[in-house]
Chain A
Amino acid sequence: QQQVKQSPQSLIVQKGGIPIINCAYENTAFDYFPWYQQFPGKGPALLIAIRPDVSEKKEGRFTISFNKSAKQFSLHIMDSQPGDSATYFCAATPYSGAGSYQLTFGKGTKLSVIP
C-alpha cells in the first residue's frame, strides 16, 4: 500500500521555468511533510518542510503549497537552474510522534533543467 503518491515520475523544464511536483497522501495521522533533493550517489538532503496549519511556505526559490482537505501538497521551484537537476522526494510523518517517527516517501520525481 503506497501511502504517499508522487507525480510526475520525470519532468523536463527549460532554465527559468517553474517545475511543479505533486504529492497526495492517505494517512490522516500525517502532519509533517518534508521535501528532499537527491543527487546521484548521494543521500537525500532536506530542502523544505511544512505542517498543515499553513497553506504555503517559501524558502528561497522553493515553495510548498498544501491543501489539507484534498490531502495534497506540491513543490514549486522558481527560476529553475541546471544545478537543480536531481531527484525530488516528498515524504510524510506524524509530527507529534504518535509512537512513530518513520518517514514515508513518495517514489520520486527526476527533474532535468535544460539550459
Chain B
Amino acid sequence: DTGVSQDPRHKITKRGQNVTFRCDPISEHNRLYWYRQTLGQGPEFLTYFQNEAQLEKSRLLSDRFSAERPKGSFSTLEIQRTEQGDSAMYLCASSPKTGGSNEQFFGPGTRLTVL
C-alpha cells in the first residue's frame, strides 16, 4: 500500500491527557498537511509542512497543539491537556511539489474521542 497512512486509527483518552498521532505520507511527497474534521463538517486546515519546515499554521492550532516533521518524512501531531472539544477526526494529507500540483491525498484519519 503506497497511500498515506496514519496511526493509530482510533484513540480514546481522558480529558487532560496528552496524545500523539503519526502520519506517513506517500513516498517522495514533500508537502504534508494536517486537517481536523468534526461530525457533519468538511475538513479544516491545521498546518502544513514542506519537507521539515512548518510553513503555515491555522488559528485553530492552539498552543496545546504541536506538529513536527523532523526529517521531512513522517510527521507527528501532539495535543497536550486534551479537552472534550478536541474530539474529532484528524486527517493527514500529502502532495508532491513537482509540477506545481496541489493535489492532496488524504490518509484514513485518526478518530480522537476525549472523555
* A-contacting residues, B13-44, CB 8 Å: 31, 33, 35, 40-44
CA distance A40 to B21 in the complex (A): 20
- Could you tell me if B48 and A101 are in contact, using CB atoms closer than 8 angstroms? yes
- Could you tell me if A44 and B33 are in contact, using CB atoms closer than 8 angstroms? no
Of all chain B residues, which has the CB nearest A106?
B42
Mostly helix, strand, loop or mixed at chain A's interface? loop
Interface residue count on the A side (C-beta < 8 Å): 27
Q: B95 in the interface, Cβ–Cβ < 8 Å? A: yes
Q: Which residues of A contact B (CB under 8 A)?
A: 6, 32, 34, 36, 41-46, 49, 89, 91, 93, 95-97, 99-108
B72 / chain A contacts, CB cutoff of 8 Å: none
- Could you tell me if B42 and A89 are in contact, using CB atoms closer than 8 angstroms? yes
Partner of A102, one of B45, B105, B107: B45
CA distance A42 to B4 in the complex (A): 12
- Could you tell me if B103 and A105 are in contact, using CB atoms closer than 8 angstroms? no
CA distance A99 to B108 in the complex (A): 27
Of all chain A residues, which has the CB nearest B41?
A107
Partner of B109, one of A43, A104, A105, A108: A43
- Could you tell me if B103 and A104 are in contact, using CB atoms closer than 8 angstroms? no
Q: B74 in the interface, Cβ–Cβ < 8 Å? A: no
CA distance A40 to B68 in the complex (A): 28
Extra pairs beyond A45-B106, A105-B44 (5, CB < 8 Å): A41-B111, A91-B42, A101-B95, A105-B43, A107-B42
B108 / chain A contacts, CB cutoff of 8 Å: 41-43
Listed from nearest, the 8 A-B pairs whose CB atoms lie closest are A105-B42, A102-B45, A43-B106, A43-B108, A44-B106, A43-B109, A89-B42, A43-B107
Of all chain A residues, which has the CB nearest B9?
A41
